[in-house]
């Protein structure tokens, strides 16, 4: 099987390449002036108080939680339809992930089911802006306020997403973004935590680098040498300048990238709206999505093939696709450790067997989108029940 239209390709030009070369020539590769510049630009773009450069979104989720020092066994509510990282960090802190099903249409956390999962041990809620569509944050924030819970937003898919006209990352909750290779902008690997809380900003800056009081750039900086002190047992989660060099220029392209994604998503919508065997995801009135993923769900009862057979056929036609996701409660870890049952999460269970993500990125051409649409339509028409 040879794939000539991959699921994702990043878009760099001479600006990124020259900035990386300049970083290499400067001799300073790790956290330093480029990271600081990217953090400042990112903070301005989001319109938040603070932005801390990290080596992943996972690091951001983990640090936002770790700085709170909840008691082992306390509970954190999140969605079952997410990448393992969201819930792994809960377990790293010896806390218990409590999974909630998703709402049909957007696959974001079903806000109406959060209340029934809140117990005296609940400490936090981690909503995931799935595929770049925002969760309905007002009711989540009302619950958090009422029950004194922390909110940490997983915005791995949601750079550029707006909720009721406000950018995700600027709603006042600690929010973690990803710059992994296939994200809307990329630094290869990387992440950013945004917050309006000065003390969280300070704590995360210490915790991202082993718990040291000052990072190397400041220790050897112009203001004279000063020795570090170890404050806390921290982590090695800092962003390196060589990655930030990419981010600085990727961020400048963000509006153009979003325009192209939106145009291509509309082309897919148009092509698939007349195919009854396909369900396309919905957009709520409060949402301006980032169009990070374009997900289709197969109506399997109307087809003679399974989702996995569909994936084989589309890849045989040279088009790369991916699955986001097989829900967490279906994973062996959760079945074994938490005894999760399929009928506790009927919506996510059903979608997990029927969804796939089509390629959607600015380096694709209009012809590529038409090609993918035609391949999908052909597979459907050859396999109708
Ligand atoms: C929903 C979600 N959360 C968290 C992550 C982790 O991001 P990173 O790879 O930057 O740690 C991902 C990664 O794709 C994700 O999809």
Pairing state between β 191-195 and 175-178:
antiparallel
The DSSP secondary-structure symbol of 135 reads: P
Cα 102 to Cα 159, 212, 338, distances in angstroms: 21, 40, 19
- pLDDT at position 220: 63
Query: 116: exposed, middle or buried (C-beta count within 10 Å: 0-12, 13-18, 19+)?
Result: exposed
Residue 128 near ligand 1, beta carbon < 6 Å: yes
Between the CA of 85 and the centroid of ligand 1 the distance, in Å, is: 6
Domain positions in the chain are 14-252, 255-382
pLDDT, tens digit only, all 385 positions of the chain: 699 999 999 999 999 999 999 999 999 999 999 999 999 999 999 999 999 999 999 999 999 999 999 999 999 999 999 999 999 999 999 999 999 999 999 999 999 999 999 999 999 999 999 999 999 999 999 999 999 999 999 999 999 999 999 999 999 999 999 999 999 999 999 999 999 999 999 999 999 999 998 776 666 666 667 788 999 999 999 999 999 999 999 999 999 999 999 999 999 999 999 999 999 999 999 999 999 999 999 999 999 999 999 999 999 999 999 999 999 999 999 999 988 888 899 999 999 999 999 999 999 999 999 999 999 999 999 999 9
DSSP 318-385: TB--B-----GGGSHHHHHHH---GGGSHHHHHHHTTEEEE---TTS-HHHHHHHHHHHHHHHHHTB-
User: Among 34, 167, 183, 253, which one carries the catalytic annotation?
Assistant: 183
pLDDT of residue 381: 97
pLDDT of residue 213: 85
Q: List, in sequence order, the alpha helices (H) in 81-192.
A: 84-92, 137-147
Q: Is the CB of 154 under 6 A from ligand 1?
A: yes
Predicted confidence at residue 228, as pLDDT, reads 87
d(CA 205, CA 27) in angstroms, rounded, equals 23
C-beta of 184 in contact with ligand 1 (< 6 A): no
Correct CATH for 14-252 of 1.10.300.10, 3.40.830.10, 3.40.640.10, 3.10.20.30: 3.40.640.10
CATH topology of domain 255-382: 3.90.1150
**What distances in angstroms separate CA 66 from CA 30, 60, 193, 366, one per listed residue?**
23, 10, 13, 45
pLDDT the model gives residue 195 = 98
Q: Please, are residues 78 and 109 in contact by the beta-carbon 8 Å criterion?
A: yes
Q: Cβ(45)–Cβ(104) under 8 Å?
A: no
User: Is 35 close to ligand 1, i.e. is its CB under 6 Å away?
Assistant: no
The tens digit of pLDDT for each residue in 250-304 reads 999 999 999 999 999 999 999 999 999 999 999 999 999 999 999 999 999 999 9
Answer whether 80's CB lies under 8 Å from 110's CB: no
Catalytic residue at 183? yes
Q: Report CA(179)–ligand 1 centroid distance (Å).
A: 9
Rounded Cα gap, residues 190 and 52, in angstroms: 11
Structure tokens at 283: 């957009």
């Amino acid at each position: 099987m040879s794939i000539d239209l991959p699921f994702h390709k990043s878009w760099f030009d001479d600006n990124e390449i020259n900035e990386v070369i300049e970083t290499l020539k400067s001799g300073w590769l790790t956290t330093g002036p480029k990271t600081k510049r990217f953090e400042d630009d990112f903070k301005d773009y989001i319109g938040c108080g603070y932005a801390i450069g990290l080596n992943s979104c996972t690091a951001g989720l983990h640090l936002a939680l770790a700085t709170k020092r909840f008691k082992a066994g306390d509970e954190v509510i999140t969605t079952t339809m997410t990448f393992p990282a969201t819930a792994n960090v809960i377990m790293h802190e010896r806390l218990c992930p409590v999974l909630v099903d998703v709402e049909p249409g957007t696959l974001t956390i079903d806000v109406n089911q959060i209340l029934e999962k809140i117990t005296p041990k609940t400490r936090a809620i981690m909503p995931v802006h799935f595929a770049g569509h925002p969760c309905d944050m007002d009711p989540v924030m009302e619950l958090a306020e009422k029950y004194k819970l922390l909110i940490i937003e997983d915005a791995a898919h949601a750079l550029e997403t707006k909720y009721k006209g406000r950018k995700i990352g600027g709603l006042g909750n600690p929010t973690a973004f990803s710059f992994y290779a296939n994200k809307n902008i990329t630094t290869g690997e990387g992440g950013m935590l945004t917050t309006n809380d000065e003390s969280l900003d300070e704590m995360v800056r210490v915790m991202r680098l082993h718990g040291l009081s000052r990072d190397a750039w400041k220790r050897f900086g112009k203001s004279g040498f000063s020795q570090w002190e170890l404050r806390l047992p921290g982590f090695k989660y800092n962003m390196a300048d060589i990655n930030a060099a990419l981010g600085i220029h990727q961020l400048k392209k963000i509006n153009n990238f979003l325009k192209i994604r939106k145009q291509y998503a509309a082309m897919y919508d148009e092509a698939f709206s007349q195919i009854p065997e396909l369900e396309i995801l919905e957009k709520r009135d409060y949402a301006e999505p980032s169009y990070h993923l374009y997900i289709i769900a197969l109506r399997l009862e109307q087809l003679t093939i399974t989702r996995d057979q569909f994936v084989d056929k589309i890849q045989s036609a040279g088009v790369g696709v991916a699955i986001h996701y097989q829900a967490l409660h279906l994973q062996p870890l959760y079945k074994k450790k938490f005894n999760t049952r399929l009928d506790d999460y009927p919506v996510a269970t059903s979608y997990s067997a029927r969804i796939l993500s089509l390629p959607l990125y600015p380096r694709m051409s209009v012809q590529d989108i038409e090609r993918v649409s035609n391949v999908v339509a052909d597979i459907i028409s050859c396999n109708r029940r």
